[in-house]
Amino acid sequence: MLTTILPLSLAGLASAAPFTSRQVVPNYPETQLSKAFRLVANVTDPSKDFDPPVNNWVFNGIHTGAGFNDAVLFADGDSSGRVFYQNGTAEEIRYYEGSVLSDGGTPPFPFGIYVAAEDQTDADGYHDVSLNVGTGTKSVQLQHFPEIYPVLRGAGQGTYVACNQVVPYYNKEYVTIRWTYDIFDSETALYEHNIPDACIAIKLVAECATLNDLPEGSLSSHEYASNVNCYKDVSAIDWTKYGP
């Protein structure tokens, strides 16, 4: 009995479904594989961008002490943008137990991306993102399959932001990169972004780069640099063409 009813009802559904000319086929910008990448800021709501706009600016570190760098965005240019690689065994990368590194110093040693814990804030009450000597915060890695976009994960649930902020070490304003932890809205029973007024939400998108050879005597090692998906040129992507 069921075998005759089922095809009939399916056929009924199909003919009843409104057939529009535009079918929604997921379509995403093409990625490549690379061992190194830069991190390019994507302002998720362009109407909130700063003046001048920081969309497509790149992640860099400014020195704030021996082995410490604050994470900032610089306009894209020949010398700007740290080159990163993702470090870990295949297993670690798969389970988000690796981290993202960048080489610095002479001889080169590894700097990792650190994201401040929820109870750690800077002078302005923000959660710092920094590039310091060491492994970095584990699980701050590029998203991978089944996620579509190769963007940098943060700590817990939240979003990266770009902020107009005075960096005390220089007593000068920079566009800093910070992390915000979502807050639970008991009315909607949903987690919502919690973005300070001087900040805007960004994604940090991987753009393929070249991993330099390390000189003799380096303290860094590229033995565990994994291949990542990245875009050839993030600023050339017209996001309106992609979706759903």
Identify the residue among 34, 69, 87, 226 touching ligand NAG (CB under 6 A).
87
- Torsion, CA 213, CA 214, CA 220, CA 226, rounded to 10: 10
Measured from the CB of residue 121, what is the shortest distance to ligand NAG in angstroms?
25
Coil/strand/helix, residue 227: coil
**Contact mark string toward ligand NAG, 97..126, x via CB under 6 A:** ----x--------x----------------
Beta-carbon contacts of residue 48 (< 8 Å; ≥ 6 apart): 200, 201
Identify the residue among 69, 70, 85, 88 touching ligand NAG (CB under 6 A).
88
Contact set for ligand NAG, span 158-177 (CB under 6 A):
none
Identify the residue among 34, 42, 102, 132 touching ligand NAG (CB under 6 A).
42
CB 106 within 8 A of CB 216: no
With CB atoms as reference, the residue minimizing the distance to ligand NAG is 135
Beta bridge partners, 85, equal 101
Distance CA 116, CA 127 (A): 5
Contact set for ligand NAG, span 192-221 (CB under 6 A):
203, 205
Q: Which stretch binds ligand NAG (CB under 6 A): 85-93, 117-125, 152-160, 162-170?
A: 85-93
Buried b / exposed e along 157-187 (16+ C-beta atoms within 10 A): ebbbbbbebebeeeeeebbbbbbbbeeeeee
Residues that bind ligand NAG in the complex, under the rule CB under 6 A: 42, 44, 46, 87-89, 92, 101, 110, 135, 149, 151, 203, 205, 224, 239
